[in-house]
Structures are given as C-alpha cells and as structure tokens.
Amino acid sequence: MSTESIVKIINPYAKITTGLAAHITEQSGAKSAHIHLVKGSKNTQLFIVNGSRRHQITPEIEARLTRLIELNDEQSIQYELVALGLDAPALIDDKGLQEPPLHALSLAIAQKCNMGCSYCYAEQGDFGGSSKNMSFDMAKKSIELLINGRKKGDTVQLTFLGGEPLMNRQGLRLATEYAANLAADREIIIKFSMTSNGTLMRIDDADFFEQYGFSITISLDGLKDAHDNLRPLKNGAGSYDQIMENIKPLLAIQKNMQVSARVTVTPDNINLAEALDEFIDMGFHSVGFSPLLKSSNGKNEMSKDDLKHLLAGMIACGLKFEHATLQGKRYPFLNMVNALKEIGKATHRPYPCGAGAGYMGVSADGELAACHRFVNEPKGKMGTVEDGIDRELQNIWLTDRHVQKQSPCNVCWARYLCGGGCHHEVIDKGRTACDYIRGWLHFAIQSHERINRLVPGWNK
Ligand code: SF4
Ligand code: SF4
C-alpha cells in the first residue's frame, strides 16, 4: 500500500495517531549524543547531530549503529562515522556568541490589555506593573537603536506587542511611519509585525497594515467555545465572535500583509485538527500551535500527559499536511512548514531563538529585555534604550544559555534543531516538553523524506 493511501486511512482516526505518537516517542528518545536513527517505511535515515545532516543507510550499517547505540558506545559511533566518511569538524563549539548585531526588536507599545486571559505571560498586559503606553519619544529611540547599527541593504524586523498593541493605536502608527522613513533613508529593509488579540481591530487598521506589509498574528485559542473559555474580555464576556467580525477585512485584503492565527494550546483546547482546518478555510495565511508550558499563575499549563495528546494531535495535523501536499494543495500548518524548512536546510544552532542575541524586547519605559516575555524581569535584563545594550549582561546570557551548557541538552540528539527550549519556560519550569519536542522532530524528519520521495520539488 502506498504512503499516500496510508495517510488517507490514518488521518481520520485519532486512536491510530495516538498509537503512532507513542511509537514515535519511544523511537525518538535521547539515546546517543552524536547520531539518531529515523526509520521510515522504505528506508532508515541516519541523522548526524553535528550539522543536522541526514543520510540514508543500508540495513547492515543500521544494525551496526543500533548495536552501538544500545551499548551506549559513543566512541565507536564516532569511529563508525569516520569509517563511513561522515565525520566533520564540530560546526558548533561551546562558546557563546559575543556581541551579535541587533536585527530585531519588539516594542511593548501598550503595556495594558482589554482581555483577561487566565494564563497570560504579561499578567493581563501590564507585566505585573502599572498599565502604560510607550511614548513616541521612546519608540523613536528604540527604532534608532535598531536601525543605526545596520548598513545599507540589511534587513531588520520591528514587532509590536503588548499587552494589546492596538490599545496604543496612535503610538503604533507613528512608530511605524517613523521606522519606515528612517529605514528608507538608510536604504535598510524593514519588516513589520504585530501580535494582537483582534478585538480592537478596525477597517482602517486593515488598510494601514496592508500599506506597510505587516505580518499580523491573531491569538485564537481554538474555535468559539474553547477560545471564549480561555480568552475572555476583562468583563468575562467571550471574544470570539467580535474577533471574527473584526478580522474579516484583514483576511479579505491581505496582499502585502499576511494574517496568521496562533493557538496557545492548553489542556482545554487540545483538539487541533478541527481548529486548523477551520482557520485555514477562513483564509488565514498560516496557522500555528504553541503549547503553554509556563503561565504567569501556573494555570492551564500542559502536563507531560497533555503533551502526549498534543504530539498525537500534531502528528494528525502533520499527516493532513502530507495528504494535501501529495494532492498539490497548499495547507499552511505553520509548525509543519517551519519544521520541514529547518530540516531541509539542516539548521544547526546553539540557541532556541534570537532572544538576547539579535533580538530583544523593549518595555514601555525603555528597558531592554532578552525578549518580549522577559520584559520587567530582572533575569532577562539587557540594558536600556537610552544607554544601549549592556554587553556584559548580554555576553553572560549568551554564554550561560548556550545549548551545550544545558543539561540534558548537551547529550540530546535534537539539540541543534531545538536549541534547548524557550529560555523563559525552561529557566523557571525546567524541560518538561523534551519527549514532545523530539517526537515532533522525529516525525518531521520522517515526513520530509516521504514528501521528498513522493513529490519531488514540492517545496520549490
Ligand atoms: S530541550 Fe531540546 S535539546 Fe534540550 S533535552 Fe529537551 S529536546 Fe533535547
Ligand atoms: S525566549 Fe522563548 S518567548 Fe523569548 S523569543 Fe525565545 S522562544 Fe520566544
């Protein structure tokens, strides 16, 4: 039976994907620090951690490597790579980046929110402080910090976050116009993005965001009931219907602009496939899922058991992606698109993201933080907009947060794809999602091989 037929059969049956997820979890455990074997229906791939390289191997090589993995004989595994001609100098050393250039900044343009989501990392928008807007003067200085160090032809990213950024619509618009003009003067390419709850969006916002080619992410936690339960307005009323009404014009006119949906997954909205299909049908440019591993008050966090269900749901969605791709259809399931892209280009990186490196968050008062989630948190402090990046704090951060310094990441096969997990989550909560992360990556490596084999050139 062809993989295509299997995909068609498997997809509707959640029980089967639960079984498949359990099997993948078992297969994807952290068994060797240097290699990982990824069995598929037609062949087995050898994933080499150094450089995230993939090679198809014969059953004989597979048997030898399996034996060495069982014996935990890392030295012989390395000899075997040499014998196969697959050894290479270490592409990532254990030294932290030092003073990397800034290329992305997020502004907490409104440190306040009109919603009362129970799990909000920004503690209902104000990050545990008083509600405030960023002044235009502070936004200008932040933009200058981002752009001044760049040279002609560079690309920078300016993101507006909150709270709810549209609670300071005027500040957001002035800052966008200022940044666009300054970047044009310096011949720098600037990209804009914003994450919004969608409740305050107006028709004229759609025109503005289209004009500046924004990437807009709307936070939606599933279909109506699930969303209303998790993301009520401050007065307790549901917000789903209002958001859907508000964002229709954005979805209709997106050309320069892209409008995506982001679902924060909690134990209460784990039915991914239904939301994914519905949001794709509505015309979102992409739809992504992100498990809630750390909330401000411990509410709604995903347990290890919940993450097992999540992996099954993600695999079900991944199989839907494969099915659509086999049929030549676009199916913008963002997690899958990103995972396949990273695997295809053999991403290997020492950090999970750019936080504290090329990317920083700015509080309404102009404090620099490692990222938007560290705003107002001493442990992510990186200087101020007025005084510039505190290079000493930054270098300490980059040395300490390097994936090779993290345990058990330093012996995990997925470390250069994963980067060690979101700093904001693992610093406080530890690494609770490793089985999920490795299971998802293992599935994505299998899937990449299947799609490449069945639909050559699918990603061109
Ligand atoms: S956080 Fe990522 S790299 Fe670290 S052990 Fe878990 S899966 Fe591996
Ligand atoms: S630390 Fe976490 S929240 Fe911050 S940018 Fe990185 S992944 Fe995102």
Q: What pLDDT does 116 receive?
A: 82
Q: Please give the span between the terminal C-alpha atoms of the chain, in angstroms, as a whole number.
A: 27
Return the pLDDT at 162: 83
Cα 104 to middle of ligand 2, angstroms: 13
Task: Report the nearest-CA residue for atom 3 of ligand 1.
Answer: 415
DSSP state letter for 116: -
> What is the rounded CA–CA span in Å between residue 24 and residue 8?
19
Q: What are phi and psi of 119, to 5 degrees?
A: -105, 5
Quote the DSSP letter at residue 119. T
**Which ligand 1 atom is at minimum distance from the Cα of 441?**
7
Ramachandran category for residue 193: left, alpha or beta (phi over 0 → left; psi -120 to 50 → alpha):
beta
- Indicate the Cα dihedral angle 386, 387, 388, 389, nearest 10°: -130
| Distance from residue 18's CA to the centre of ligand 1 (Å) | 22
Q: Which of 434, 436, 445 to mutate to test the pocket of ligand 1 (most atoms within 8 A of CB)?
A: 434
Q: Which residues of the chain have pLDDT under 70?
A: 1-15, 121-127
Closest protein CA for atom 5 of ligand 1: 409
User: Whole-angstrom Cα distance, residue 342 to residue 424?
Assistant: 22
For residue 70, report the distance from its CA to the centre of ligand 2, in Å: 35
CA dist 405 → 173, 352, 397, 425 (Å): 41, 13, 11, 16
3 state DSSP class of 278: helix
CA–CA separation, 307 vs 433, rounded Å?
A: 7
How far, in Å, CA of 194 to CA of 218, rounded? 9
Q: Which two tokens stand for residue 391?
A: 């290079």
389 Cβ inside 6 Å of ligand 2: no
Ligand 2: which of 102, 219, 353 to mutate, most ligand atoms within 8 Å of CB?
353
Please report which helix (H) or strand (E) contains residue 26, including its range.
Answer: helix 14-27
Q: Which among 99, 134, 127, 93 has a CA at the least distance from the CA of 113? A: 127
For residue 243, the number of C-alpha atoms closer than 13 Å in the C-beta half-sphere is: 27
CB-based pocket (< 6 A), ligand 1: 406, 408-409, 412, 414-415, 418, 420-421, 431, 434, 437-438
- Which amino acid residue places its CA nearest to atom 1 of ligand 1? 420
CA–CA gap between residue 311 and residue 451 (Å, rounded): 20
> In the numeric block, which tokens belong to residue 344?
């295809």
* Ligand number nearest to the C-alpha of 33: 1
Name residue 74's amino acid: E
The count of other CB atoms within 10 Å of the CB of residue 293 is 22
Distance CA 39, CA 427 (A): 33
Helix, strand or coil for residue 164? Answer: coil
Find out whether 79 and 34 touch, Cβ atoms under 8 Å. Answer: no
pLDDT at 122 (0 to 100)? 64
For residue 118, the model assigns a pLDDT of 75
Distance CA 212, CA 202 (A): 16
pTM for the model: 0.93
CA distance 132 to 112: 6
